[in-house]
Structure 1
Amino acid sequence: MKSNTFNYSLLAIGVAAVLGLSTAASAVETPTTTTGVDITNQATANYSVAGQAQPEAKSNIVKVSVSQQVSFSLTADNNDTAAPTNGVQGDNKNENIAVTPNGFVLFEHTLKNTGNTTDTYDITVGATDPKYTQNASTVTFTTYKADGTPITDRTNITLNYMENTLIPSTLEKGEYVKFTIRAKTSGNKGEETLPLQLSVTSRNLAGIAGATKTLINTDTSFTRLPTFGIVKTITNGLDLNDTTYQDTATYKVVVTNDGTNFSADATNITIEDVLPNGLVMAKELIASNITVSTGATKGTIASGSLGSQGFSITNVNLPIGQSITITFEVKQTGAVTITPTVAMGMINHVTVTDDLDEDAATTGDIVIDSTKTGSPENVSTFYPAANPEVNYVKGETPAKSGDDSTVPLLTIKRELTLTGVTTKEIAPVTGLTAADTAGQVTHSTVITNTGKDVEGSKPGELTFTITDNDGGVRDAINVVPGTVKVTYNPGGTGTGVTDATITPVNGIYDINTVLTAGIKAGGIVTITYNVSANDAPLFNPVTSTNDADATFEDTIVTLIPVAEGAPTPITVTDKTTVRGLVLVKKQALAVDCAATSTGIVGSFVTTDITGALPGQCIVYQIQARNTSTTAAGFPITSVTILDEFSKFAPNATYVIGSLADMDGAEIEGTDRVTTTLATLAAQGTATMQFKVKIKTGL
């Protein structure tokens, strides 16, 4: 039978009545409901012979058993398998499908008649989050035959999305409908999750008690957009004594697509910089002035920047976590008399513009981020209100993703070095606080002021951070709060400082809080800090005993100079490796079961042994090893190696007198054997060996 065409009339019904059915389910496919009927048939014939009517002739009876199967499926087809959602494509959920603020999101679904009879389905587009704009959203359908051929008069049919709308569709066996909901969002911000629900009800199942009549799919969109971190610094100050106005100052602009939990790649963005009065571009901005990290693009530079008050770059692409660095030179025009005081007020701002969905027809989705607070910046419209952006204008280091920073015109040059990478080894368990430092290790880093100016004499001018490679989340290996100290050697006359505790604010250590007069030219500051271990695994993976797999943590000390003449932040990376006791058990078959016999069959192995027979003996060998190195390690004390008889009972028995060890004091107990050592030196080993006899009659 040919299927009916779509009934596209929009029959308004209450969504509560449809979605609240007690028989509704959110499975991908309904269970098959089977009903049977038998069709029988018998033929008859009437005839005459020689004009005489004969008895009616009847044929044999034939029977056909008809089995009607009713079932259907409703699947969510968006590919939501990528991290962090880790969803399942083709289940009953389209989870966290990316959408831009005020943009469109597409939800894909398939309805299929998986039974063997024609059925009519009522498709209901359910209630949505208020931030979906229904009069700008649509539902598009295409119906396919069982062989995948589109049905011509039911192809690419688009309807306006109306909440609580019911759309009937009749499908023959194997036929299916693919439909796309194109939902328009409005007023949504980064990190927001917006739900939408869809249900389908089978009319053939409506009168069957206990049958699953309705399937539900749930869609959620997750609002994503780039988070731009804009940092503008000056790497070369301007010589104000140059009356020819030919000396240049060098600016560096770094725009990063900061990683957040609602990140998205940035495509075709525009970066602009407008200089303050009194400064112009000293050189034409060209491609060699721009560097990009992996996957980012340099974009297109507008021509004619030489002598102008800034530049513009379009078509820049910044994947998540990637950056573009623009270096350019400026000089004075003479129109403004620049003094050190005036220079501190000469702040120019960088602006980044991004049309989030790259569709000029979509309104309200252009994000403008600037180092300047206020118009034209509009990031507060798009970023979560709980995490507002901060714009710094004194060269401060941004405190979090999405914060921006610029700096006044600088007229001096500063130089600093950071040296002293340290490598330490730590036991799996140590004291965890500044009051309990047992077993902790201490790293040190040296700051040297190699410039001509005092560093850190003002709050925030010279800071440093100490971070590890776990992204700031406390794990098994961590910097111990309260153990960071500063020692200052002024390098000549002046007052020094020894082991002064320095306290961070929001993870940032300010040199000025300890050295209020700053670091003199030639001065040296040594930073020390402790690292602790909280039940840290020896190896990664934990099943390894290979020293190359030893667990370690990199700790990065970053020196962050800001304000006038600030050089680029510099880092050193210290390393803390977990070392401790490794226990390796090996086994071999014995030549005999004599307690004092040392002969074995083959070699000791850590792998399984097959083919052993009842009555034979197994030799167990247990080796303890101190994995710490002789250069940076530590002794291990009070070592006890034990093996309990319950580990091999009831299939084997301990051979009395077979316990032998080569390094410690052994004890043969009634339920265990042990070996003890007072000290195991770095790289030292201790071995215990004994026999068990395999029981007969197993």
Structure 2
Amino acid sequence: MKSNTFNYSMLAVGVAAVMGLSTGANAATPTGGTSGSFNVTNKATASYTVAGSDAPQSAESNVVTVNVKETGSFSLISTVVDDVKDDDFGKDRAINAQASSTVDFTHTLTNGGNVNDTYKITLANAGGDNFDYNLSNSVIKYQKVNAAGTNIGGEVTIANNDSIALAPGEKALITVTAQADTKRVADANGILTVTAESTYLKANTANTAPANYTAVNTDNALTKTPIYAITKSATTNLGNKNFDLNNTDAFVDYTITVKNEGNISGTAISISDDLPSGLVAIASGQQNYKAPSVTTSNGSAVGTAILSNSNKTITVAGQNIKVGETITVTFRAKKATDATSSSLFTNYAVVRDNTNSDANANTPDIIDRSDDGVTPGGLTESTYENTATPLIGKDDNTNATVTTTNQTRAIAITPGANKEVALVTPTTNNEVANTYTYTITNNGTDITEAAGTGDNDSSVKLSIKPTATRNNGIIDDPNINITRVYVDANNNGKFDTGETELVGVNGIYELNAATPFVTGSTTTRKGLAPGESVKIGVQVTTSGEGSNDPNSPQANVNNIGDFETLTLSIQPKGPVNGTAVPTSTSDNPLSTTSTTTMQGVNLAKYQIAADCGANPAVSSAAWSINNATATAAQCIFYKLEAKNTFTDTAKVINNLVVSDTLDDKLTYQANSFSASPTATNQSLGQTIKVTFATVNAGTTANVVFSAKPSQTGTNQ
């Protein structure tokens, strides 16, 4: 998982300018005899439709602010030192995966103004991460220093929402010790916001927006834990998976490999294997005996494999395994004395680890099995694997199953498709626009699949669930939803009258319900005979929005580029007539994915404060969404950038209307308007409204104009 980068917040000349405070350095020179100041904020809006759709779409730009004349300042800067290596951003702290782990974050609060001030310090859990911190158990300490860096007094402990008093030029070196109570997966990140609120700025400004008197830092901790990828394979004395119960010399050679794919070493782990009812390990002195072996890829001491008295369990204890290293265990088994074709011949390797004590694995907090599942015997896995990155720590027991029959099982699902769709699903013909169709085929021999339902071993479930979104740790996008799953009998991508709609529970459907009825029956379905297939349709609708304004009533979110990946997996319940559950192969995959991505118009607004004159070039590097500083004699140049974010060339934006209403402290500058490509219509003045007939996929429509600020009636 890619870690979240830090967001440094500095409430300096830009915000303080609103408050009427002098900053000293970089302070703007008053003009016209005035000593007050004001700020100008505005944004742009757009409406449009997407080719092939009559649904209205909308977008809002970011809010841009021009602060005319600087005044006072303060800053809150994160000073975290990187202690997570090989990350993308170098600003993560490490935290153990177990509950009640803590992590330290450090910050520097500086009074850069010329007045005494107090700053309320507030901790809060941020959204969009994987876990929260227990704020009541978190500790805030600070050491005050003067401008020369000399300590003032000793270290002070304060509670959440308490304040720190600083004179001009003084700093507070803050340490936040945050505690996460819950267990977390590897690479799970927790984001904490630390906010400083200036008492003086809040009390002395006419504009009471929090952005004018607060500064926010974003802290991130990354969970560190071993993750074990366990692979188990079996080969019989025939060199395949066929175990002949009538052959007294039959045996099975098992190989277990354990690789640490986490981000920290494992210490004193144990590896064990409980043999099922049909097998026992071959002990020393018995026919076909082969001594168990333990080898390691790091060249460390080789461990010892211990057989239980009944020869039903093999255990290797006390193994250390660094990140990227592998331990391999081999042993040999034969059929049990009372084994029959109905006996079990599937078994699993289990890794146990106590990441807290690391002395032994007797009380593990990690229990990981070689099939990533829960055994019928009741062993519940407890790993730190991240389901959003399933290739990390992926276990594989598929090659460890031996069979005593000639029957074969193979079920395949066709590959999914990825689609770009509008933010809002069209109100007409949406079955074609947002429908995915999959074909499920029984490629086995002599076995009918999905003949049963419920907990019957012959049942086959179809799981259709969201598994990934744009946001790490979130697997279900609330703006992308499955609205219908059905049997697409005529394969036209639409739900037609007479077609069967499937009803699932928590995204799990019975594949049996998609198969034809038994001849002459209206209650019993026959399942999928070898060679038969069924087509499944999945309808997906979207309800996204396109606002870049965090204060917008549109839900404070821009959903452009948001996506949701659906994973469809075929889940056979159990063995049928002695033949084990089929495994997923390249020829017969049991799962596939489809990704729905919302696209549309991404509207952004940029500004430049400069002397009045010709418009800056559209491509100028000076355009910025950040706060700017201007005098009353200067002009503010604006650029509205409306990008068609679709990559599908068929997704043309039609009738794009870009609008912008200027703040009443601004005066539109005549003859400053330009548009590219050429607009089909425009209305100019305090309200600018520009129409573009079409905007092709991946291209951008730009509007540039200027306005002049006026201080009349606005000074404090």
TM range, smaller chain: 0.3 to 0.5
Question: Quick check: which one's strand share is greater?
Answer: 1
Structure with larger RCO (C-alpha < 8 A, sep 6+): 2
TM-score (norm 1): 0.46
TM-score (norm 2): 0.45
